[in-house]
Chain A
Amino acid sequence: MPVDQSLVGREFPPTRPYAVSEEKVRQFVTATGGEYGGGPAPATFPIVLAFDAMNAFLESESIDLFRIVHGEQKFRYERPVVPGDVLTATLTVASLRQIGGNDIIGTASEITDADGALVCTTTATLVHRGAAA
């Protein structure tokens, strides 16, 4: 079932505030084979926020996560994420195309801190693989 075209331009509610702790950053760094000695989170850490926003979007549209494959991801940082940050992500559906039975969904998520200041903008292309006929 194709994704509803009227979604383009829709902004979803901000995600629940996420408290960045040293423990969460360490868990992320360790999972990607590194060692964490304190300081800023790695460059791809904001995906935790973006993923939370994406999950809420997929649930609201009844899209199965297992049919989603990642097409593209870009981050633009205003500043590094650091432990102590309390962040929320707000996702907007930027584009939607249908190609060969798949939906190509473009999203943009703005990640802001507790003061409402922009920390990171991240855009994603999600490929929603259509069910076999």
Chain B
Amino acid sequence: MSASGNLPTQVFTITRADLVAYAGASGDHNPIHQDESVARSVGLPGVIAHGMYTMALAARAVESWFPGAEVVSFGCKFTNPVVVPAEVGVDIEVAGEVKPGDDGLTTVALTVTSGGQKVLGMPKAVVRV
């Protein structure tokens, strides 16, 4: 792999069943990730994925690009909710660009989109390769 440049884009799918499994695994049982009526009652367009679910997918992409690398820091803003319909999954695309540092660390600037719209703000991981 070159020292800098674009990484192969990864595509993941999120379903309602994934959100149920994630609620159990993470302990985040917020009903806005399960129940349409609760989600709408707080002004959301429908059931949305846990922001941390989308962030976990971004982490999976980083892991696939840098297998076994230690992650030093990882962060993002949750700028647009990912609505997950009841019947079909929704695709998340994770693109990445490598920005080598001079301290032995590699910065990965991510672009995470769903349906062409960015869903995470300034997602960035720093890894020790």
A and B found bound together? yes
8 A Cβ contacts from B74-119 to A: 74-78, 81
Contact A43-B71, Cβ < 8 Å, known A31-B21, A33-B57, A34-B60 = yes
Q: Is the CB of B42 within 8 A of A66?
A: yes
- Could you write out 13 A-B pairs with CB less than 8 Å apart? A31-B25, A32-B18, A32-B22, A32-B25, A32-B57, A33-B13, A34-B60, A44-B56, A52-B27, A65-B29, A73-B51, A77-B70, A77-B72
Asked whether any CB of chain A lies closer than 8 Å to the CB of B4, the reply is: no
Q: Is the CB of A31 within 8 A of B18?
A: yes
Q: Is the CB of A33 within 8 A of B12?
A: yes
> What residue in chain A is nearest B75 (Cβ atoms)?
A74
Alpha-carbon distance A51/B35, docked complex (angstroms): 20
Question: Which listed residue, B42, B56, B71, touches A77 by the CB 8 Å rule?
Answer: B71
Q: Is the CB of A32 within 8 A of B60?
A: yes
B104 to chain A, nearest CB (A): 15
Question: Which listed residue, B26, B71, B72, touches A31 by the CB 8 Å rule?
Answer: B26
Q: Is the CB of B22 within 8 A of A72?
A: no
Alpha-carbon distance A34/B21, docked complex (angstroms): 12
A103 to chain B, nearest CB (A): 13
> What residue in chain A is nearest B81 (Cβ atoms)?
A69
Question: What bracket does the count of chain B residues touching chain A fall in?
Answer: 35 or more
Question: What bracket does the count of chain A residues touching chain B fall in?
Answer: 20 to 34
Q: Is the CB of A42 within 8 A of B32?
A: no
Residues of A within 8 A of B43 (CB): 129
8 A Cβ contacts from B37-61 to A: 38, 41-44, 50-53, 55-57, 59-60
Residues of B within 8 A of A70 (CB): 50-52, 78
Residues of A within 8 A of B41 (CB): 66
Residues of B within 8 A of A42 (CB): 56, 59-60, 63
Q: Is the CB of B76 within 8 A of A31?
A: no
8 A Cβ contacts from B8-28 to A: 12-13, 18, 21-22, 24-28
Alpha-carbon distance A33/B15, docked complex (angstroms): 10
Residues of A within 8 A of B42 (CB): 66-67, 69, 129
